[in-house]
Amino acid sequence: MGAEADALCGAGYGERSTERTNSRNGYPHRQFDTRAGSLDLAIPKLRQGSYFPDWLLERRKRAERALTTVVATCYLLGVSTRRMDKLVETLGVTSLSKSQVSVMAKELDAAVEAFRTRPLDAGPYTFVAADALVLKVREGGRVVNVHALIAVGVNKEGYHEILGIDVTTVEDGAGWLTFWRSLTARGLSGVKLVTSDAHTGLVAAIGATLPGAAWRRCRTHYADVRIMPIWVVSALVVGPGGLLKSA
């Protein structure tokens, strides 16, 4: 940082030179959190203009990329923001507020949105299962129930693939119709059989968007979908990059 400041000033620190265009004006201190612990950085301040090292990530950011990734991943796996402070203490970081954790976790937003809107190009998806999960989320300062609409399909390679997930305040026909239309718009095709519960709105939406597919009632509500929310819903619905914030 000192060398960069000297270059901006046109001369070294304390050096008398006719080529000098600026001078130092103290050293503001900033805490920078890393995997090796918290560092106290003295950043040169210029008398005219401003200086901030590009390699120190974005302005006002106080944690290195590796630590940000660790925090975001832990949050994704269900570690609460309040418990995160104790976790980073083991890395030597003096403190990490709840708001800082939330900011770090926001970097997952782009990845989640890309997953939810990706083209469904691994078809045909011969078999598809759909279900809705009731979740508790914090919204407007209170805890409410929402419905996560989920569809899982078997792709051409024979593997199960999460086709889509969306959140609605109520499970009704309009929500299911919008959900299935979004799947077909992203490329869902070749569906021969859809299994789900006997929700009237869901069955009607399947018939309206997949006219060539048969429907069968699933008595067990597709057990695999019930297991997946431990990590899937945490990431896509109530996680840091999800549709809603968790309670």
Where in the chain are the domains? Answer: 2-56, 65-107, 115-236
- H or E segment at 165? strand 160-168
- The answer to whether 20 and 10 are in contact (CB under 8 A) is yes
Q: Among all chains, which residue has been given the structure tokens 């006002």?
A: 60
Give the predicted TM-score (pTM) of the model: 0.58
Position 152 scores a pLDDT of 93
Number of Cβ within a 10 Å radius of residue 54: 8
Chain-centre distance of CA 95, in angstroms?
Answer: 23
Position 23 scores a pLDDT of 72
Position 92 scores a pLDDT of 64
Query: 138-159: string of b/e by CB count within 10 Å (b at 16+)?
Result: eeeeeeeebbbbbbbbbbeeee
Position 164 scores a pLDDT of 93
Angle made by CA atoms 4, 7, 11, in degrees to the nearest 5: 130
Nearest to 131 by CA among 211, 233, 214: 233
Q: How far apart are CA 93 and CA 16, in angstroms?
A: 40
User: What's domain 115-236's architecture?
Assistant: 2-Layer Sandwich (3.30)
Low-confidence ranges of the chain (pLDDT < 50): 59-60, 222-247
Torsion sign over Cα 233, 235, 237, 240: positive
pLDDT, tens digit, 9 for 90 and up, residues 174-207? 999 999 999 999 999 999 999 998 899 999 999 9
Angle made by CA atoms 72, 76, 82, in degrees to the nearest 5: 75
- The answer to whether 155 and 125 are in contact (CB under 8 A) is yes
Assess whether the previous peptide bond of 229 is cis (omega < 30° from 0).
no
